[in-house]
Structure formats: structure tokens, C-alpha cells
Amino acid sequence: MAIRIIVKEPDEVLHKKAKEVTKITPNVQKLLTDMADTMYDADGVGLAAPQVGILKRAIVVDVGDDHGLIELINPEIVSSSGEQFGSEGCLSIPALNGEVRRAMEVTVKGLDRNGQEITITGRELLARALQHEIDHLNGVLFTDIAERVYDRRLDEEGE
């Protein structure tokens, strides 16, 4: 179990486009494992490689549903439908939440840790998490697209 340091805003790595993974090596597989360990340790539901300082197109997501841990290399959204509007947070921007409009359902294609192509369809929270993490791979943070951003600590205190 290796917990990596989560890069925080305004680190420039969070605003860069990640590079495609051209070969799945033991290092890439270890990155996925470390990312999952880091996500769970931080009580998150998703993490993208740029959030641990690695500009590779890799994400992990686990929203606590039947899908369990999802590891995707070079993920891309191949279809989306519907709309949802709700609150998002980010492990790289711990003090803020934002109201973000996303697709209600997305289908994402990518590679698993063994290089096999997989397709995942997610709705609601899973769809939101997949879109959020794929945005990270393109240097986009939820604060870039939120309709409203607020300090989570103030909101929790009822102010």
C-alpha cells in the first residue's frame, strides 16, 4: 500500500493535458494501485493521475456501487445523455465545492490494467465521477465549469 501526495490547486500540473499511455507496464499498474490506495485513504470517490503529479491518462473511481473499483487507462466518453446539476468537490481543492452541470449518463471506453478494452456505463454519481476525473486528464477542474463555487467549510457551519 503506497499513499501518494495529492497535488493541490494552484499547482500547474492540474491545468495540463495528460499524455496517452502507450504501453502498460508494471509501473503503470503500480500507479493505478497507488492511486486507488490514495483515493481510499483520502475518502474520495475518484482520482486522476495528474492529481498525484503524473501526466498520464489514467483514473480510478469507486462510488461505492456494484461496479466497485474502476481503473481506466486512456478513458474517453463515447456517449452521454440527460442532465444533472449538483454539488461536486475535489481532493485537489479541499476547501471548495461547486454546483456543476453534467450528463446524467455516460458510457466510457478505456483499457483495464491488463490492456483489455472495457466499456463502463454510469448514471448519476458514477457518471458525475467519471466525467470529473476525465476532465482532470484534460486540465479542467470543476471550478472551471461550476456555475457556483463556495467554501465548503462555511457551508458546513451553516453560514
36-48 tens-digit pLDDT:
999 999 999 999 9
Which domain CATH number covers 79?
3.90.45.10
Confirm whether 4 is domain-assigned.
Answer: no
Confirm whether 2 is domain-assigned.
Answer: no
Closest CA to 94 of 15, 9, 13, 24: 9
Q: Which pLDDT score is estimated for 159?
A: 44
Q: For the segment 125-137, what is each residue's pLDDT rounded down to a tens digit?
A: 999 999 999 999 9
Task: Quote the DSSP letter at residue 56.
Answer: B
Contact assessment for residue 103 and residue 127, using Cβ atoms and an 8 Å cutoff: yes
Confidence of residue 2 (pLDDT cuts 50, 70, 90): very high
Confirm whether 5 is domain-assigned.
Answer: no
Provide the percentage of residues in the chain whose pLDDT is more than 70: 97
Closest CA to 106 of 136, 143, 148, 75: 75
Q: Which pLDDT score is estimated for 97?
A: 97
Please compute, for residue 99, the number of CA atoms within 13 A of its CA located in the half-sphere on the CB side: 5
Confidence of residue 153 (pLDDT cuts 50, 70, 90): confident
Provide the percentage of residues in the chain whose pLDDT is more than 90: 94
β-pairing, 58-61 vs 93-102, is unpaired
Confirm whether 42 is domain-assigned.
Answer: yes
Active site residues: 133
Contact assessment for residue 3 and residue 26, using Cβ atoms and an 8 Å cutoff: no
Side chain identity at 60, as an amino acid letter? V
Domain that holds residue 39: 12-156
81: β partners: 105
Confirm whether 6 is domain-assigned.
Answer: no
Burial label, 157 (beta-carbon count in 10 A; 0-12, 13-18, 19+): exposed
Instruction: Check the annotation: does 15 bind a ligand.
Output: no
Q: For the segment 4-22, what is each residue's pLDDT rounded down to a tens digit?
A: 999 999 999 999 999 999 9
Q: Which pLDDT score is estimated for 155?
A: 58
How many domains, the chain?
Answer: 1
Average predicted confidence (pLDDT) for the chain: 95
Contact assessment for residue 106 and residue 130, using Cβ atoms and an 8 Å cutoff: yes
pTM of the shown model:
0.95
Distance in angstroms (rounded) separating the CA atoms of residues 74 and 56: 8
Q: Which pLDDT score is estimated for 156?
A: 54
